[in-house]
Structure 1
């Protein structure tokens, strides 16, 4: 297991009207930037296994806590967490380092941001590597409306939007237990139950399956969320329909060379039409659940480094 004491010390970097807490490795490899974007409810620490591997392979690895997370700024307005702001932070981070463009790696919500960044600022992204969340097609109906129609009001995306503050408060009252119960692998399949699944998870006394990380690793996340709370990170979800509108007039095709990594046991659905929107994509599947780069760190590193090596 990883010793949290080995994780790099962060710097607070002013970007785009906020400050981001940024961890990096391989600064001596200036000119070969790889920016790693975490998901929810995560932290730059989720890339602890990738930072040293990328640095050893000659890359400048940069992992920000994105706005709302860790010791990065947590603006109050919900709209400060839309795709324009989130992608703008990453562009400003490149400007801070003096980079024209970079390879961007995203997991979960971080993947959504990287897909959006590639559409909104294509000249700043030279390659895309996304884990778990494939490209999300922009359909006729805003995303939350569509989810409400198909998955109901208790689906967590919908619940976060229609009942703001309710789930955040439960997570904050049960931070340690919620994160312990969430970061699991090899969970036995269960019947879907009525109610809001994540609220139920936060209240569950006994976790299922096996832990994804050691107690000392989990403590890093628990400490971060006990300090930051959950509202700022959940505000990302409260911008999905706004993002749908912001992307209305953008060319929807991701043209950069792309690597898509799925977990075979992930609950997130694969994209049936990925190549229509991401024509330059290579797809790899690993035998794991949702927390891909933490469940299978060595395999993830090998897949990423081999793919980057082939891109030249």
Structure 2
């Protein structure tokens, strides 16, 4: 494996987490018990390395900062890279257990803040929802959290109105004049890993294009909330979210870039891109894709109804790039986070000239926003 290009003061570590994994994580700061701890959780397709700009910045502010490769990613081992593996190990409350195991392995009983980006924001939110005694505050980047799946007394198996609308909208995509499909359903299917891993443009260039398109640099227009939850509204999203029905993600990226000049990235160096392409070249994408398969499993989502009605009651904040379509990918999600999911949402901040990879695109602004939140006594 390649040596990670880490800043001085950032350390790479390994430990068993008591939940079947040997976790690899990056850390910075004083690990002594009296130093408040922050846990940083990445999304897809990312790694602990995605927090490289936050580790030292938060450590220099007096925190012990830990960023793991989560289950299915990077140099963490113990998970099975097979499409037909037990999806229960990728259920959201088991991903929370992975984080709890790491916290315990580090000799801690509480975490000052759990911070997540993209899918990692969901894991962080569930950490704060299920174990607020351990995770004392929460920062979500890029992806709003709308709460646990509802449980209807007398009809626990019947979908609620919102779920029915979403199912109808997703099904309706294939019937549009230009047939479409939702990327999460594609990621949950059997072909995504092989199609992306063996991308015709090469894995390195596929990832370069994917990161570019979802950044501010690749945005065609300023994102805005969709009017309603229908197939016609969802079809307004960029094709990396609502894809043409006949192609995979690597071809979607290739088509999207065909009429563009792919300029050098101001935020993702070739050295950093090599980390992603070499790590995903080695592991494939299946581990991360199993998160999507678990999230779209009706059976596993019904299991999470155990937490229906719970809210996140620790201090929380939301940070996103102004050019990130992902914030609006699910109509009404941002409002639901404010109204229903988080009872102590301190702030929502939108970072100018940043897209989906907000903590990498604009690290100084994100670090300032995080420190402002963390220093409010949360």
Q: TM-score, normalised by structure 2?
A: 0.75
Matches within 5 A, 1:93-172: 93-102=102-111, 103-137=113-147, 138=149, 140=160, 141=163, 145=167, 148-149=170-171, 151-152=173-174, 154-161=181-188, 163-164=189-190, 166-172=191-197
Give the match for residue 311 of structure 2.
Answer: 253
Give the match for residue 5 of structure 2.
Answer: 4
Q: CA distance change for structure 1 residues 81 and 143 in 2, over 3 Å: closer, same or farther?
A: farther
Give the match for residue 177 of structure 1.
Answer: 205
Give the match for residue 286 of structure 2.
Answer: 231
Matched, 1:48 2:49: no
Q: Is the 8 A contact 2:39 2:65 kept in 1?
A: yes
Q: CA deviation at 1:27?
A: 2.9
Mapped partners of 2:209, 2:58: distance in 1: 30
Q: Which moved more, 1:35-44 or 1:150-159?
A: 150-159
Q: Is the 8 A contact 1:144 1:158 kept in 2?
A: no
Mapped partners of 1:151, 1:91: distance in 2: 39
Q: CA distance change for structure 1 residues 6 and 36 in 2, over 3 Å: closer, same or farther?
A: same
Rg (Cα) greater in structure? 2
Matched, 1:265 2:328: no
Q: CA deviation at 1:61?
A: 0.1
Q: CA deviation at 1:274?
A: 1.9
RMSD over equivalenced CA pairs, Å: 2.5
Q: CA deviation at 1:19?
A: 1.0
Mapped partners of 1:114, 1:128: distance in 2: 7
Mapped partners of 1:21, 1:28: distance in 2: 16
Structure 1 unmatched ranges of 5 or more? none
Q: CA deviation at 1:307?
A: 1.2
Q: Is the 8 A contact 2:29 2:65 kept in 1?
A: yes
Q: CA distance change for structure 1 residues 84 and 12 in 2, over 3 Å: closer, same or farther?
A: same
Q: CA deviation at 1:225?
A: 0.4
Mapped partners of 1:265, 1:178: distance in 2: 21
Q: Is the 8 A contact 1:115 1:254 kept in 2?
A: yes
Q: Is the 8 A contact 1:181 1:201 kept in 2?
A: no
Secondary structure, aligned partner of 2:360: helix
1:42-85 alpha-carbon deviations (Å, 9 max, x no partner): 00111000000111011000000001111112324241211122
Q: CA distance change for structure 1 residues 60 and 226 in 2, over 3 Å: closer, same or farther?
A: same
Q: TM-score, normalised by structure 1?
A: 0.90
Mapped partners of 1:283, 1:35: distance in 2: 20
Mapped partners of 1:96, 1:146: distance in 2: 44
Q: Is the 8 A contact 2:12 2:25 kept in 1?
A: yes
Mapped partners of 1:292, 1:151: distance in 2: 29
Give the match for residue 57 of structure 1.
Answer: 61
Q: CA deviation at 1:171?
A: 1.1
Q: CA distance change for structure 1 residues 148 and 306 in 2, over 3 Å: closer, same or farther?
A: same
Give the match for residue 200 of structure 1.
Answer: 251
Q: Is the 8 A contact 1:108 1:131 kept in 2?
A: yes
Structure 2 unmatched ranges of 5 or more? 151-159, 175-179, 222-237
Mapped partners of 2:254, 2:371: distance in 1: 39
Q: CA distance change for structure 1 residues 78 and 208 in 2, over 3 Å: closer, same or farther?
A: farther
Give the match for residue 27 of structure 1.
Answer: 30
Give the match for residue 285 of structure 1.
Answer: 350
